[in-house]
Structure 1
Amino acid sequence: MNQNLKYFLFVIPAIAYIGVFAFFPSGEAVYYSFLNSQGQFTLSNYKELFYFNIGGTIINTIIVVSLALFLELLLGLGIAAVLTWEFRGKKAFSTLVIVPMGVATVVAAIAFSFIFQTSGGYANSFLKLIDLPTFNWYANKYISLLTVAISDSWKNTPIVALILLSGMLSIPRDLYNAAALDGAGPIRRFFYITLPNLKKFIAIALIIRGVSEFNIFALPLILIGYHPSILTTLAYDLYSTSTIYLSSAAAVILLAFISVFIAINIKLGGGNK
């Protein structure tokens, strides 16, 4: 009993930190989301969100999350597959792959704002170099959201790649050797051996990144501003516009929490079937 008490005492600072800096602000946001300007409990704050196109904002958030997760999973699989090979310069390649994780989000956002500039941006300069027409990366809502997803996936793909790499390295090589002897090519080995054995690792990567994707803020704010809005930028827009929208901003935050919990529940529930 004394030993267990000692372990518990070591954990208390971590519990206090999480409670003060995570659970308390979250609970306060939920509380304020049900208060009006007179301090009375009401649901009018949630009705008011329809005037700020909350439906379109939720759709925009889902689009960004889906595109970013797709790109991160696709690139992560490719990078992890390359890192399973032995080749000259593997250490240098591994270092380059991990570099985006150390770049601050604001710095990455500013860098990509230079890349996707409609006039003189690096992306359009490259298109000119290979004799392709230039492109307006902010021509409409969907292209703007794609720009955000591409920028976000560059920074976070290394996390997915490392998770998938650990999964690939855990697959016995005997399975690949046996499949090769039976005449299975690289593509069939990938779909019938690699992917089935990576299901749990893919689920872990998608859950970790999916939760984080709902929290992206600085990157879309710098790249596209408040329009098209996602949940985090809408909440900040309402909060910074006037104090009368403080409760509405808290309601948006609560909806973001609910969206994350629903996504996790769907994923975990589907994985248990």
Structure 2
Amino acid sequence: MSTLIVRTRRSFATHWYAWAMVLPVVVVLAVLVGYPLGRGIYLSFTDANEANIGRTIGDFTVPATYQYVGLDNYWHILSGREGSFYPRLTWTIAWTASCVVLHYTIGLALALLLNRKLRGRSVYRVLLILPWAVPAFVAAFAWKLMYNTNNGVFNALLGKIGVAPVDWLGDPFVQKLSVIAVNTWLGVPFMMVAILGGLQSIPRELYEAAEMDGASPWQRFWNVTLPGLRPVSSTIVLLGTIWTFNMFPIIFLVIGQAGGTESEILVTYAYRLAFQGVRDYAGSASYGIVILSLLLVFSVFYRGMLKRQEAAK
């Protein structure tokens, strides 16, 4: 322990300027991330709710009366006694997998198209990036208007060809397809831009050598393009999975209360626990820690799988 302290002091004395530059970032992260995370972990071991959390009203302070309950909240969630965790987890995984697969495949196709010599390529790039520039809540409300059963654009187009209106946000199955479509529209530009950068970093000599060896376009794609994109793909798929798993605004703003709770993902249900009804802060915090744990396990497993694949080559 004393050796560690000596090394830390020596490092600070030698690199004090670097420490000074990093300190504001550390303070901001501690305030914006560290404290809320620590508070959430603490509340997850209690029975805190709106009635016993404690508050200050003017000059009058109501003391907190919630108690420590240990792992009861986690047992309540993971044991299935609640009855809603595993169905929501299944839908959250299906939602995440569907969106990430669509993000990557469509983004890859568009990136391959834009990587070719194409007239007006710059214009196409700007138009395809626009969905990414639109704030998520603006896009959610715009799509919700287009999904409107009576006055929406989609049902108006269906009426033109004699098809009956579709209840886009009322039927549980259709509303799930609807939010996947919205999130795909929002997420494809990021994948496209990242993959396009990866494509442009692949040496042209590899394609020329493969072509000289008689490789077909599919063989060049499979043996040159995809391996060359592996470093970029592994990162964006991981980021896309984490972002989509926690994609609160699309589910909450597009569906709202139209379809009950069947289309809620874990993060929207955690929000509802904390800010609607009885306001179960402890239950919401427990859901948040469970979500964090699931993503940490997935990230570790995913990175380990990639390392094993690299070591096997």
Q: TM-score if structure 1 supplies the norm length?
A: 0.91
The 1-side partners of 2:191 and 2:33 are apart by 25
Report the alpha carbon displacement of residue 60 of structure 1 after superposing the two structures with TM: 1.4
Comparing both structures, which one devotes a greater share of its residues to helix?
Answer: 1
| Counterpart for residue 24 of structure 1 | 35
Deviations 1:152-203 (A, max 9, x none): 1211221111111111111111222233333333223212211122112111
The 2-side partners of 1:111 and 1:72 are apart by 20
* Equivalences for residues 104-143 of structure 1 within 5 A: 104-129=135-160, 135-138=166-169, 140-143=171-174
Report the alpha carbon displacement of residue 69 of structure 1 after superposing the two structures with TM: 0.3
The 1-side partners of 2:192 and 2:302 are apart by 20
Paired amino acid for 1:258: S
**Equivalent of 1:14 in 15, 18, 25:** 25
SS in structure 1 opposite 2:188? helix
| Counterpart for residue 168 of structure 1 | 199
**Equivalent of 1:240 in 275, 280, 290:** 275
| Counterpart for residue 230 of structure 1 | 265
Q: Is the 8 A contact 1:144 1:224 kept in 2?
A: yes
* Equivalences for residues 86-235 of structure 1 within 5 A: 86-129=117-160, 135-138=166-169, 140-225=171-256, 227=261, 228-235=263-270
Deviations 1:112-165 (A, max 9, x none): 112233344323334445666654434654432232222112112211111111
Q: Percent identity?
A: 26
SS in structure 2 opposite 1:51? coil
Report the alpha carbon displacement of residue 97 of structure 1 after superposing the two structures with TM: 1.7
Call closer, same or farther: CA 1:7–1:184 in 2, change over 3 Å: same
SS in structure 1 opposite 2:82? helix
Tell me which structure has the larger Cα radius of gyration. Answer: 2
Deviations 1:13-55 (A, max 9, x none): 1111111101211111111011024322322223444425011
| Counterpart for residue 253 of structure 1 | 288
Paired amino acid for 1:17: V
Q: Is the 8 A contact 1:71 1:150 kept in 2?
A: no
Call closer, same or farther: CA 1:119–1:177 in 2, change over 3 Å: farther
The 1-side partners of 2:241 and 2:107 are apart by 14
Deviations 1:56-90 (A, max 9, x none): 11111111111110111011101211221122211
Query: 168-177 or 117-126: which moved more?
Result: 117-126
The 1-side partners of 2:211 and 2:25 are apart by 50
CA RMSD of aligned residues (A): 2.1
Deviations 1:220-249 (A, max 9, x none): 012223522111110111111245511001
Counting matched residue pairs gives 273
Call closer, same or farther: CA 1:242–1:117 in 2, change over 3 Å: closer
| Counterpart for residue 307 of structure 2 | 272
The 2-side partners of 1:267 and 1:211 are apart by 12
| Counterpart for residue 90 of structure 2 | 59
SS in structure 1 opposite 2:119? coil
* Equivalences for residues 62-73 of structure 1 within 5 A: 62-73=93-104
4+ residue stretches of structure 1 with deviation over 6 A? none
Q: Is the 8 A contact 1:235 1:249 kept in 2?
A: yes
Q: Is the 8 A contact 1:164 1:202 kept in 2?
A: yes
| Counterpart for residue 46 of structure 1 | 74
| Counterpart for residue 8 of structure 2 | none
Call closer, same or farther: CA 1:12–1:202 in 2, change over 3 Å: same
**Equivalent of 1:78 in 103, 109, 118:** 109
The 2-side partners of 1:153 and 1:23 are apart by 31
Paired amino acid for 2:180: A
